[in-house]
Structure 1
Amino acid sequence: MPRRTGWRVCSVPGCPEFSDRGGKCDDHRREAEQRRGTARQRGYGREHETRFRPAVLARDPICVCPGCPQCSDPDSACARPSEHADHWPLSKRDLIERGLDHNDPKRGRGLCGLCHASSTAREQPGTFGLH
């Protein structure tokens, strides 16, 4: 499906500004990013950078998302290069709640950007900045 282009009104209710990227205008996008905090503030610290992410991406250099909705063949694995180390099958939040090590590479999988975005939107809807 082709991507829509052109200017659209900001998605924040009452905001009259326009965005050429869709969603929020530049000011509201900046505000949302500030509320979201840095990766460190969201709990992705040194151990995530040195232990979890490198090990997951080394083990899964190709996206392992089965039945990717972004791919032409939904019955096969994605086959794009992995960019994200995604906590799987439990979310990072669930691992922490259960007292499990969320930086253990066996609790992750490598995903490409599109599959990671789709997975996050599907499994954690409306939680931008809350995980």
Structure 2
Amino acid sequence: MPSRLKPPCSKPGCDQTKPCPIHGRDNRPRGSARQRGYGQRHEDRFRRGVLDRDPVCVVCRRAPATEADHWPKSRQQLEREGLDADDPQHGRGLCKPCHSTETAATPEQRGGWHAEQQATRRAR
């Protein structure tokens, strides 16, 4: 019976396998949207409330808002503080490009792009 090969680390250029001793935590899947708290209540209450209030992107003020962004605190920060993360008062409406840019610039967001950009800046 052939042995199963371990999957490689998902970080580009890393020759380790999962679980990676170098990138361990960053290498884990982040879970589905529902597992991260974005269920039907979020869709019905938060997203709809934010987009009804902010039909135009509050950052660029040109494009229609299509994304409901938790701001100025993240969903995780609101939950840690015992606040209702699905209350539309904790959000803002953004267009897709502005939401992507804002999310990438947020240090609390898990994700490889921001971490890689920060590492590149520190190395210079």
Please report the TM-score for the alignment, with normalisation by the length of structure 1.
Answer: 0.62
Specify which structure has the higher proportion of helix: 2
Contact 2:103 2:109 survives alignment (8 Å): no
Shift >2 Å, 4+ stretches: none
Q: Which residue of 2 aligns with 1:120?
A: 103
Superposition map of 1:50-69 within 5 A: 50-65=44-59
Query: Cα distance, 1:107 vs. partner?
Result: 0.6
Aligned length, in residue pairs: 92
Contact 2:57 2:63 survives alignment (8 Å): yes
Please report the TM-score for the alignment, with normalisation by the length of structure 2.
Answer: 0.65
Query: Percent identity of the aligned residues?
Result: 48
Q: Does 1:12 align with 2:12?
A: yes
Unaligned runs of 5+ in 1: 1-9, 16-31, 66-76
Helix, strand or coil for the counterpart of 1:53? helix
1:38-81 Cα shifts (integer Å, max 9, x gaps): 2101111121011000010011111001xxxxxxxxxxx33101
C-alpha RMSD of the superposition: 2.4
Query: Cα distance, 1:125 vs. partner?
Result: 6.2
Query: Cα distance, 1:11 vs. partner?
Result: 6.3
Helix, strand or coil for the counterpart of 1:90? coil
Query: Cα distance, 1:88 vs. partner?
Result: 0.9
- Using the alignment, how far apart are the partners of 1:88 and 1:125 within structure 2? 12
